[in-house]
């Protein structure tokens, strides 16, 4: 059996990193100017891998040249912090790389003074101004940054106001945050803490990570050599929407599967491994995005099963659906046909003359499991349905008509992932 070169159980390390050159170039250019950046993206899109790449000394040298010597990088994973984590604990951890290599007597003294003052504003301000005077800058790489926004010990607005002040006024600090929340969403959360003044995060720009482009997809799949056929590649791209985590998982399953009906059996193996990803994704979406994504998936399932007999009625006349489709496209969850995709148009949503499809076909498989076959229990989905949050976009009658049409599909269409995978493969091979 061919050994799989694909990684989907952990973040990729610098030597394994692929893509994101434009994003890295933007972030490093901003670091050169002492500016902060928020890396934003859906679950498993590569935020942590990007932070690891930013923290890599060879990568810093490649993008910044001699200016890389001016940076001191402090990486914090905020995902595992406990209920007792405090602002003082944050500062102690964040300043540790500087403690180990102060580089100057005055820096060591400023660090002691900040610790003795329990990291109050003025001692920290003096510390970072001192760093700037030396031509140095501390860079915080803060993974899972949203954990601080909801942590009970960080509900005092003074902490975030201080971070912003140190990053914008001293010249000695820059922040790179990684979060599922957009900058607008982070500012909205901060608004609940601070009723007046500037938004907490008005000093950062947002870099949103998206699925891989075709060049990066080719480079990734080429790592398997001849183990993946052209049909395998098309199937993997369509099933995963070129999402890097999903694409690696599907490619690995294809490499590991041999014999008859290979793609369908690989799809089952793939889906069993990654279905939790969509549970996680669902929790990260707001109600409008959830509704639009489910509608798109139901339309696709219904069209695939019922063909020209399937009708989605008045959905194409719902004006609010257009902005939601474009929001899903930004997140990599929807694709407009005609932008590099070729599909059977019977399976797509027609909206105001535009044809749309779900970004990753595997998400439609998840919707089939949760909404149609009801073999996967996701409490957040049940709660959303019970509260009828889909009414942001559809009436009860429209929703009931859509769901009942799909539930009335032939047995093959709702029985399992393998059947849906075979239908997808047949469509792709007919269209090549």
Whole-model pTM: value is 0.90
Q: What was the pLDDT predicted at 415?
A: 63
| Averaged pLDDT for residues 421-431 | 80
Containing structural domain, residue 87: 20-208
- Token pair of 218 as six digits: 């080719």
Residue 277 lies in a domain: no
Report if residue 396 sits inside a domain. Answer: yes
pLDDT tens, position by position, 24-45: 999 999 999 999 999 999 999 9
Whole-number pLDDT of residue 345: 45
Domain boundary, last residue among 186, 208, 230: 208
- Are the beta carbons of 78 and 142 closer than 8 angstroms? yes
306 and 396 belong to one structural domain: yes
* Same structural domain, 181 and 38: yes
Of 103-117, 143-157, 174-188, 346-360, where does mean pLDDT reach its minimum? 346-360
37, part of any domain? yes
Which of 185, 208, 231 marks a domain boundary? Answer: 208
Query: Could you tell me the CATH number of the domain that includes residue 88?
Result: 3.40.50.300
Q: Are 123 and 114 in contact (CB under 8 A)?
A: yes
10 confidence band (pLDDT: 50, 70, 90): very high
Q: Confidence band (pLDDT; 50, 70, 90) for 146?
A: very high
Could you tell me how many residues make up the chain?
Answer: 432
In a domain, 201, yes or no: yes
Per-residue confidence (pLDDT) for residue 341, from 0 to 100: 40
The token pair that represents 12 in the structure block: 């990729």
Q: Please, are residues 283 and 31 in contact by the beta-carbon 8 Å criterion? A: no
Q: Can you tell me whether residue 208 is helix, strand or coil?
A: strand
Judgement on whether residues 28 and 149 belong to the same structural domain of the protein: yes
- How many domains is the chain partitioned into structurally? 2
pLDDT of 342 strictly over 50: no
Domain co-membership, 183 together with 299: no
Question: Which of 142, 207, 133, 211 is closest to 174 using CA atoms?
Answer: 142
- Looking at the structure, tell me whether residues 287 and 372 fall in a common domain: yes
With 90 as the cut, is the pLDDT of residue 123 above it? yes
Asked whether residue 382 is assigned to any structural domain, the reply reads yes
What pLDDT does 306 receive?
54
Q: How far apart are CA 401 and CA 116, in angstroms?
A: 66
| CB proximity list for 261: less than 8 A, separation 6 or greater | 418, 422
pLDDT of residue 177: 97
Q: Are 163 and 45 in a shared domain?
A: yes
Residues 149 and 63 in one domain: yes
Of 153, 188, 208, the domain-final residue:
208
Is the pLDDT score of 340 beyond 50?
no
Q: Phi and psi of 39, rounded to 5°?
A: -90, 120
Answer whether residue 224 is part of any domain. Answer: no
Strands (E), 308-360: 334-336, 349-351, 354-358
Instruction: Count other Cβ atoms within 10 Å, centred on residue 318.
Output: 16
Q: What is the pLDDT of residues 201-254, one digit of tens each?
A: 888 999 999 999 999 999 999 999 999 999 999 999 999 999 999 999 999 999
In a domain, 260, yes or no: no
């Amino acid at each position: 059996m061919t050994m799989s070169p694909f990684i989907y159980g952990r973040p990729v390390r610098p030597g394994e990193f692929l893509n994101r050159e434009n994003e890295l170039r933007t972030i490093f250019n901003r670091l050169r100017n002492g500016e902060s950046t928020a890396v934003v993206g859906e679950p498993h899109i590569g935020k942590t891998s990007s932070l690891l790449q930013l923290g890599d000394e060879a990568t810093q040298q490649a993008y910044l040249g001699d200016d890389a010597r001016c940076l001191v990088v402090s990486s914090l994973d905020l995902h595992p912090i406990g209920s007792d984590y405090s602002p003082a604990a944050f500062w102690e951890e964040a300043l540790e790389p500087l403690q180990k290599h102060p580089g100057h007597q005055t820096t060591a003294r400023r660090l002691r003074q900040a610790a003795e003052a329990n990291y109050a504003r003025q001692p920290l301000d003096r510390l970072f101004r001192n760093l700037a005077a030396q031509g140095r800058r501390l860079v915080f790489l803060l993974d899972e940054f949203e954990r601080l926004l909801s942590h009970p010990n960080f509900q005092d607005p003074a902490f975030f106001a201080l971070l912003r002040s140190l990053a914008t006024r001293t010249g000695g600090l820059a922040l790179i945050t990684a979060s599922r929340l957009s900058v607008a969403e982070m500012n909205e959360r901060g608004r609940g803490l601070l009723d007046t003044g500037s938004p907490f995060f008005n000093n950062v720009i947002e870099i949103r990570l998206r699925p891989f482009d075709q060049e990066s997809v080719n480079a990734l799949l080429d790592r398997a050599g001849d183990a993946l056929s052209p049909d395998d590649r098309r199937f993997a791209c369509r099933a995963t929407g070129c999402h890097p985590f999903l694409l690696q998982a599907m490619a690995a399953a294809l490499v590991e599967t041999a014999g008859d009906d290979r793609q369908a059996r690989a799809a089952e193996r793939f889906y069993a491994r990654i279905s939790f990803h969509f549970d996680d994704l669902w929790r990260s979406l707001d109600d409008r995005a959830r509704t639009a994504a489910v509608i798109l998936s139901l339309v696709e399932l219904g069209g695939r099963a019922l063909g020209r007999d399937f009708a989605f009625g008045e959905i194409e006349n719902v004006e609010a659906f257009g902005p939601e489709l474009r929001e899903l496209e930004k997140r990599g969850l929807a694709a407009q046909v005609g932008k590099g995709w070729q599909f059977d148009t019977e399976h797509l949503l027609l909206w105001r003359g535009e044809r749309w499809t779900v970004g990753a076909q595997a998400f439609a498989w998840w919707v089939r499991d949760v909404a149609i076959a009801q073999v996967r229990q996701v409490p957040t989905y049940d709660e959303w349905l019970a509260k009828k949050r889909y009414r942001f976009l559809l009436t009860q009658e429209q929703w009931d008509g859509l769901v009942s049409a799909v539930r009335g599909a032939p047995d093959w269409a709702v029985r399992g992932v393998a059947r849906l995978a075979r239908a997808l493969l047949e469509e792709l091979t007919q269209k090549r």
